[in-house]
Structure 1
Amino acid sequence: MAASRVAVAGASGLIGSALVRSLTADGHEVVRLVRRAPQAPGEVRWDPERSRADPAGLAGCDAVVNLAGAGIGDRRWTPAYKARIRDSRVRGTAALAEAVAALEPRPRVFVNGSAIGYYGDTGARAVDERAPAGRGFLPSVCVEWETAAAPAQEAGVRTVFPRTGLIVARRGGAWGRLFPVFRAGLGGRLGDGRQYWSFVSLHDEVAAIRHLLDRDDLSGPFNVTAPHPLTNREITAAMGRVLRRPTLFAVPAPVLRTVLGEMSGEVLGSARVLPARLLESGFRFAFPEIEDAIRAALQAR
């Protein structure tokens, strides 16, 4: 993509901040959507949970990327927090999609974040983008999240949904919590360890989003996960090998359910998700194997 103007919602998050660095390094102008009063050039205010986004702030943007949403694992899933998880995604997406549709000229692409939570618990069965939505809270959120982008699609804007897996990064996300535990020699499997974890390195996540931004022939859902998902037991062993620490501890499923409540279903659930469309489009992963992804995370600045 030639140097352009790109709006990013969720620019301060794990993926968003890495994407902004990548775009800026390549000479793109980045407009950051923020929930507070703008304090720096290039910031535009919006209110995702009240479905407010001023189209004027997006004027001149070639692309809009929405990565905003309350953290899935940040808090226990009380009814109020579940509503926040849903509203921050669905209402925010609707606001941006409507703003994009109202622009003239319109951006050429709207990349709206999604997640492999769309598929629910798939057990040992491998799924790709052809699989239907699963059942439960997160699948229903993901369906509404993607559906909320309809105004942009109906206005003829190319719309893409990167369904992201578990990000392997030193800080933030699931691995940001795992690394300190494993470094302390307290790491181990969760539950029986047979559940599949579909991971992706932060480097490959950003590269995939850039790929989806650049390719005018790509639209719809794309699983952004490494090609070879592994079980929690296998990932635990890989963490032990890379960090050279024992992995003798295990957290029984009943303990996880007591501590995490309903969210424990996401930790103990299995998601064996394959990036079929991404690979078919010619994308190549820099860190397709878990040990390489772990090492890349540890070496990242």
Structure 2
Amino acid sequence: MTAAPRTDEEVPGWVRDLGLPGLADIHVHFMPDRVLRKVWAFFDGAEEYYGRPWPITYRTDERTRLATLRALGLRAVPALSYPHRPGMAEWLNDWSAGFARRVPDVVHCATLYPEPGAGDYVRRALAEGARLVKTHVQVGGFAPDDPLLDDAWAALAEAGTPVVMHAGSGPRPGAFTGPGPVRRLLEAHPGLVLVVAHLGMPEYHAFADLAEEFDRVHLDTTMVGTDFTEAFAPLPEGFRERLAGLREKVVLGSDFPNIPYPYAHQLEALARLDLGEEWLRAVLWDNGARLLGLPAR
């Protein structure tokens, strides 16, 4: 196999050598500028919160970030955002719809929060064309099985729209993080197409259990296996073998632009798992393309 990329400039050639049309990354963030600036300000203080610095590698303007992703080979650009308080989700959904109308290769995304009317605005977002949803249990400070979200989850399960959910307790636990609340959600809505962000770190095995048990549960690779993450949430013993068995359910994720290393390092980290070219092809394109509605290779 061609050596894994060490720089972003090496990524397109490596992807072509794998026989792939591009990358299907399901975990990319675009937000209103003032929201993104607040996110970056939070990461600027990460050493106090997380105990280690978290520099933003791609702290550039919107146009440059889009150009960077296209140059890397993304054939569709998710624009994930998430609220941290009531009354914010619907406004973010309106912005996301406008962003997708303005930029043709952007995936129309939506989000939600446990509040009255959540089901209504999720159904409206779906009717307007939303194809991907993001939730962040730790930042939002809510239980994924909150009854106020029942109607929204039912609508998403019926539509088959993928939901990228940060529910693991890394890099810092929250009141509602961990596999328990997610299991209860899936038992109530087994048809939900759920993508567990960061492979559920650090509860890797417990979230892999859910992916094995529920047909429509997937895991995304965001930040996993990188030198940065291995320092505080390393993949546990025996997990590499589980990832091999879950090949059809593991999806590329990056967390671009909010990552403390070059995008290429995420791909290098996946390659050094040494699970073979077919595993990489499934993870880098096939599985994400299926969820995002992109052509098969």
TM-score range, shorter chain: 0.3 to 0.5
Q: TM-score, length-normalised on structure 1?
A: 0.32
Bigger RCO of structures 1 and 2 (CA < 8 A, at least 6 apart): 2
Rg (Cα) greater in structure: 1
Kindly indicate which of the two structures has a greater share of residues assigned to strand.
1
Q: TM-score, length-normalised on structure 2?
A: 0.32
Kindly indicate which of the two structures has a greater share of residues assigned to helix.
2
